[in-house]
Structure 1
Amino acid sequence: MFFHRDRPGSARLAIRRQAWLRLVLGLVCMTLWPGLVGCGPMMFAVGVAPGDQRLEQTTVLSDGGFRNDRIAIVDISGMMLNAEQRGLLQQGENPVSVLHEKLQKAAADPRVKAVVLRLNTPGGTVTATDAMYREVQRFRRETGKPVIALMMDLATSGGYYVACASDHIVAYPTSITGSVGVLLQTVSFKPALERWGIELEALTSGKNKTAGSMFETLTDEHREVLQRMVDDFYQGFVDVVRSARPTMDDETFALVTDGRVFTGSDAAALGLVDETGDLYDAFARAKSKVNLDRADLVIYHRPLRYAGSPYSPTTMAGPHEPPVDRTQINLLQLNVAGLPGFADAPVGLYYLWRPDMQ
């Protein structure tokens, strides 16, 4: 940086202040960054835009040998929404898009012989769930490569729905699964607004246009309209489970589809999953499906994402799950978070298990 003798002193002072401000901000960012993005190897990238963000591949387990065939881990984590999930100081990902991208990469690699579909999700919207289920089905149908579902902490509701698209389901004994059903959460502020003397009026094209509105009381007719939708989507969920579990007796089937959740051990005993195990068991099951004695276990991730083990996070994910429920009411602001249809998630019907919302 050059300073001319004829530059006014105030201009030189302003430039120096800007330089000091950049230095201070840089030090603050370097100090806070580990707490914002979590512990682990750090890289500092300088640029004005992301470069090539195509998926990279890292081998995280190997049976040894030269140029082994591969088993690919494909993750589904957090809320399943067809929307970008942003994080603090991070570029978010669209879960449906990421699943499609990873399956396409596994399909295009002739050395990938099977996929471990690793699930850690409470579910998501009805349509996003169904789209992901269809993506897994299409992958199996078009490639002939088997898919082994592996349930981690949670594979509930929509998570179980997607697992039904696989050839085989492995659950940790401590996994939580089940919650076969549909959730449509509504809330009405009308009684409170009336108590405050606030009157809202909506002009609509039909008497059922405001069904489920937070500013209306749910009438019997509204409830019937919405319940019909819930029942329709529930039947679709039940059909998916029956297709995946055709030999389950009717009594057990009625039990596992009534909305309750199960541990992985209980789910295996009931036939909701095929076996209990862990990541290594899922890897072994995938190899046995394609008659491999040895293979490399690979994981897909974005550039600059560190993948040091099979348990490494692989997406630049934001807060897939809504934050802790909170309600803030000011004179000029009504901010309700943590409820579907408000700030954190799109309005709609959900294949979702969240006890705090039910």
Structure 2
Amino acid sequence: MSVTDKLTSRLPMIPDRGDKSDVVSVVKLHGVITPHSTPFSRGTLNINSVESALLRAFSHDRLKAVALLINSPGGAPTQSGLIAERVRQLAEDKGVPVLAFCEDVAASGGYWLACAADEIYAHRTSMVGSIGVVSGGFGFSELIERFGIERRLYTAGENKRRLDPFQPENPADVAWLKDMHEQLHQLFADWVKQRRGSKLADDADLFTGDVWLGGKAEELGLVDGIGTLREVVAKRFPDAEITVAEPKKPLLAKLGLGAPAAAGVSALLHAIEQRTSWSRFGL
């Protein structure tokens, strides 16, 4: 026996799970949903940032199910819809069930993502729901007047200056924005009804934008039960191995490099925006 053989014979054997084990793939959908992610930012979700993880999750030959671990206060409705639709497309192509597990928060766009699953589970302390639409901003018209600043804005098209924060609020612009909110709210409610169907309770508060803890969310039909990923998978797929599908990391992230100094202000504003989204739920 060679020296190499002697040394390797003493090493602990690694079990060969290979392709013999059934697999439940896990995709972590953690963060604010926004189209504004960068190669440096973390804690954000959009279709580009999750595509590689979704493809990996659905690529296993012995795939039994895909689990979505959701921890998101919501964000951009379009990105929420794009991610959810991609999940449904892959699930139907592979013919496997998708289970969603709500962690701290699955609210607003986070709940939109959860509805992409065939079954939704939550912890007793999870905050679930917020089926509504919100947007906000600031008005600076009096501030620039106080400092003698003249606003110069040139447009072609009478509605190109809607909601300009440096102009006094226009009631017509507010009415336009509220109409957009109503349309988005209806699309959100329609998606929830399509995915949850008869499971939903007949409750007038269901689509008011309110949020509930896991137990109440189960009563309302927003989730199918109380349980964690490992509890449910152990019961449903006792012989399956749980594997986490990680997204591809950008080159700069792999090298451990942060944002350049020139991007400091933008990164700070982005961080404040994210912090605000989480703080609405006391987190």
What range is the shorter-chain TM-score in?
A: 0.7 to 0.9
TM-score by length of 2: 0.78
Tell whether 2:100 aligns with 1:149.
Answer: yes
The question of whether the paired residues in 2 share the 8 Å contact of 1:146 and 1:166 is answered with yes
The whole-number CA distance in structure 2 between the counterparts of 1:182 and 1:317 is 36
Is residue 355 of structure 1 aligned with residue 277 of structure 2?
no
Q: Give, as a single letter, the amino acid of the residue that structure 1 aligns with 2:205.
A: L
Q: 1:59 matched to which residue of 2? A: none
Change (3 A) 1:248 1:274: closer
**Residue 122 of structure 1 contacts residue 354 of structure 1 at CA under 8 Å; is this kept in 2?**
no
Code of the residue aligned with 1:104 in structure 2: it is: L
Which is helix-richer, 1 or 2? Answer: 2
Instruction: Report how far residue 264 of structure 1 moved.
Output: 1.2
SS in 1 for 2:66: strand
Contact 2:130 2:208 in 1 (8 A): yes
**Does the alignment pair 1:230 with 2:175?**
no
Instruction: Give unmatched runs, 5+ long, in structure 2.
Output: 1-14, 259-264
Q: CA deviation at 1:94?
A: 6.1
| Maintained 8 Å contact 2:133/2:184 | yes
Task: Tell me: CA distance 1:248–1:100, structure 2 relative to 1, closer, same or farther (3 Å).
Answer: same
Equivalent residue in structure 1 for 2:220, among 261, 270, 285: 270
Q: Does 1:139 align with 2:139?
A: no
Q: Is the 8 A contact 1:76 1:120 kept in 2?
A: yes
Letter of the 1:72 partner, please give it. Answer: S
**1:150 match: secondary structure:** strand
2:5 — aligned with what?
A: none
Which residue of 8, 26, 41 corresponds with 1:73? Answer: 26
Give the CA deviation at 1:98. Answer: 3.6
Q: Go from structure 1 to structure 2 and tell me whether the alpha carbon gap of 1:282 and 1:116 turns closer, same or farther (over 3 Å shift).
A: farther
Which amino acid in structure 2 is aligned with residue 276 of structure 1? I
Q: 1:316 to 1:160 in 2, by over 3 A?
A: farther
Pairwise CA RMSD of aligned residues?
A: 3.4
Residue correspondence of structure 1 range 141-220 to structure 2 within 5 A: 141-220=92-171
Specify which of 163, 169, 172 is matched with residue 221 of structure 1: 172
Q: Is the 8 A contact 1:83 1:94 kept in 2?
A: no
Q: 2:125 touches 2:213 (CA, 8 Å); kept in 1?
A: yes
Offset of 1:196 from its aligned partner? 2.4
When Rg is computed on C-alpha atoms for both structures, the one with the higher figure is: 1
Instruction: Flag the 1:160–1:91 CA change in 2: closer, same or farther, 3 A.
Output: closer
Q: 3-state DSSP class of the match of 2:197?
A: coil
* Gap regions ≥5 residues in structure 1: 1-61, 305-314, 320-334
Q: What's the CA shift for 1:91?
A: 8.2
Give me the TM-score of the superposition, normalised by structure 1: 0.63
Correspondence 1:82 to 2:35: yes
Superposed CA offset, 1:46-103 (max 9, x none): xxxxxxxxxxxxxxxx9x998211001111110122343454xx88986422422122
State the percentage of identical aligned residues. Answer: 30
**1:232-291: CA deviations, max 9, x gaps?**
111100101111222256741x31210111111211122111101112223236xx3xxx
Q: Counterparts of 1:1-358 in structure 2 under 5 Å?
A: 67-87=20-40, 95-247=46-198, 251-252=202-203, 254-284=204-234, 288=236, 292-301=237-246, 343-344=269-270, 355=280
Given the superposition, is the C-alpha separation of residues 277 and 183 from structure 1 closer, same or farther in structure 2, using an over 3 Å criterion?
same
**What's the secondary structure of 2:52's corresponding residue?**
helix
Q: Secondary structure at the match of 1:124?
A: coil
Cα distance between partner residues in 1 of 2:38 and 2:129? 25
**Cα displacement (A) at 1:294:** 0.7
